[in-house]
Chain A
Amino acid sequence: MAVAEEITEAGAADAPRRGNVWRRRLLTHLAIFLAIVTLWETGVRAGWLDELFFPRPTDILVSFWRIYISQGNVWYHLYISLGLVLAGFVGGSLLGVGLGAIVGFNPLMRRFLQPYVIVLEATPRIAVAPLLIAILGFGAQSKISIIVLVCFFAPFINTLSGVVNVSPEKLELFRSLGVSKLQTLRKLVLPDAVPVIMAGERLAMTAALTGVLVAEFIQRDVGIGSLILTYTRNLNMASAFACIFTLTIIGFAIFKGMEIADKRIAFWNHEEGRERLSARRRRAFEAKGRA
């Protein structure tokens, strides 16, 4: 009895203590962040840092206000850039996954295409970007094709390896059940490759963000990349930094978003995903009273 009471007391005391730890951690992070910002600010004011290249944090804050609210010009550029990212990512992914599945599932194709894949993988894709502009001209189509190019590879390689590395035991099971090739692809090979494909998509999404910047640096007209270029050339570093930090936030959001997408799509690889879907199936069964 005495022991039980002790345990309950300890348990009850545990919750606020955990809250304290969390709060203390947050405060530590905040303190370090403020220290860095203050150091930067004083560094510029004291003249240790060249203000031409390292604007004061307060100036960057003012630039944030200007480009987002008082002038509000960044929205249009973001809209253009993110549109390109989306188009390029979707295009590159579809192309990569589609070709990866076809090549992976077809041993003959794999044998003859393998050397080209290796050569292409060794070539920095960005090197082809000026060529693409020469072929397609200036404008959205050449920018999108640059993004497609940098996005394509990770999903392609991952789909290929996912399709090739499907377990031989499972393939034998499908063969013993007399399943057709197409059905085997649909019901076994592709779903089995989904976690690996998702890992490829995460790389592709990061590549897409880099890709759009490169595309906009090469042909400066609109977009967040062009905006950074313009601000830097005009020595408006505070606004350039505001744009860069904007991209930090977008990059982080993309990373998190892909993580969430992975947990939803390849749910069986995550404990909470399995539990969530398993419980949902059970509830649906109980509601219907039959399977």
Chain B
Amino acid sequence: MTNTAKDKADAAEVVVSGKGVGKTFAGGSVVALEGANFDIERGKFISLVGPSGCGKSTLLRLVAGLIDRSSGELKVHGTSVKGPRQDISMMFQKATLLEWRTAIENVLLPTEVHRKPTRDDRTRALELLGMVGLKDFAFSYPAQLSGGMQQRVALARLLQTGADILLLDEPFGALDEFTREHLNVELMRIQADVGATTLFVTHNISEAIFLADEVFVMTSRPGRIAKVVDVNLPRPRTLKMQVEAEFNHLVEEVREALGAF
């Protein structure tokens, strides 16, 4: 499905919405996030970009149900978020693979903790490993894989959950520049393939724009969404777009909103 067709089909459906979402820590003395208002439509790729302490990871964890909000209303698929849920899946900066399990066993983990994996589950896990380019490494242990390959396994595991909302917290932040760019391109392809709504946290402005339909620009003290920048670059996107004028205008817009000039 192309992006425009997807837009037309599900234009109106909001899957994640926040009204005045706030989070304070240390008994209210530290404001991590304040008054976040947003609507995220089905299938959109959203980047959250900002400096450390802008509350981007906090917002992600609130949506994941890993922490409770201090104020406001946060809904996923129309129901209030009260804890971790199966229609949301999260990926972290560290691959967090279980070292005693092979790649495919790691991918199957989300299934296995809820029910006994079937033959179909295993076939699906193999397919996903193929999708992230690790077909030949299905039976390797994490220590036998490079950092980039470990993150690919984590990505396959993320998709194995079957969740339609994916949360990624600087997933390739610990990798070198080239590996990261390469994985970003693959992530876009896969995201378009499965059509999952995606929230992607990063502190890299170019990366945020390159991937996203919308960029949530966040500023710190207190953490808040300063601006939402629409990215109307055509898809599929290529790395070359990053040196074109239109892209640079968007970078300028984001930098201005961040006050990063």
Contact = CB atoms under 8 A, between A and B. Distances in A.
Contacts of A267: 100
Nearest to A179: B113
> For B83, B85, B114, B119, which residue has the most chain A Cβ atoms within 10 angstroms?
B114
Tell me if B's interface is mostly helix, strand, loop or mixed: loop
15 contacts: A167-B96, A172-B66, A173-B96, A176-B64, A176-B65, A176-B66, A177-B113, A178-B84, A178-B114, A187-B98, A187-B109, A269-B99, A282-B138, A285-B139, A291-B122
Nearest to B117: A291
A278 B144 contact: yes
A290 B144 contact: no
Nearest to A273: B141
Contacts of B100: 191, 194, 267-268
A170 B86 contact: no
Interface string A158-195: 00000000010110111111110001000110011010
Tell me if A's interface is mostly helix, strand, loop or mixed: helix
Interface string A250-291: 000000000000000001110100110111011001000011
Given A167-B96, A177-B109, A191-B100, A268 B141 contact: yes
Interface of A: 167, 169-170, 172-179, 183, 187-188, 191-192, 194, 267-269, 271, 274-275, 277-279, 281-282, 285, 290-291
Contacts of A173: 90, 92, 96
Interface of B: 64-66, 83-86, 88-90, 92, 94, 96, 98-100, 102, 104, 109-110, 112-114, 119, 122-123, 125-126, 138-141, 143-144, 161
> For A173, A268, A274, A275, which residue has the most chain B Cβ atoms within 10 angstroms?
A173
A169 B96 contact: yes
Closest 9 CB pairs of A and B: A291-B122, A281-B139, A282-B139, A178-B84, A179-B113, A176-B90, A274-B141, A268-B100, A268-B99
Contact of A291 (B83, B89, B138): B138
Nearest to A271: B143
A175 B66 contact: yes
Contact of A188 (B84, B98, B123, B161): B98
Contacts of A290: 119, 122-123
B66 A285 contact: no
Given A169-B96, A173-B96, A285 B138 contact: yes
Nearest to B100: A268
B98 A191 contact: yes
A278 B142 CA distance: 11
A271 B140 CA distance: 12
> For A176, A191, A290, which residue has the most chain B Cβ atoms within 10 angstroms?
A176
Contacts of A174: 113
Given A169-B96, A194-B100, A277-B141, A176 B89 contact: yes
A121 B143 CA distance: 35
A173 B123 CA distance: 23
Contact of B84 (A170, A175, A291): A175
B243 to A, nearest CB: 35
A275 B140 CA distance: 8
Contacts of B90: 173, 176
A274 to B, nearest CB: 5
Contact of A177 (B84, B119, B126, B139): B84
A178 B66 CA distance: 10
A12 B140 CA distance: 33
A163 to B, nearest CB: 15
Given A167-B96, A188-B98, A291-B138, A274 B66 contact: no
Contacts of B161: 177
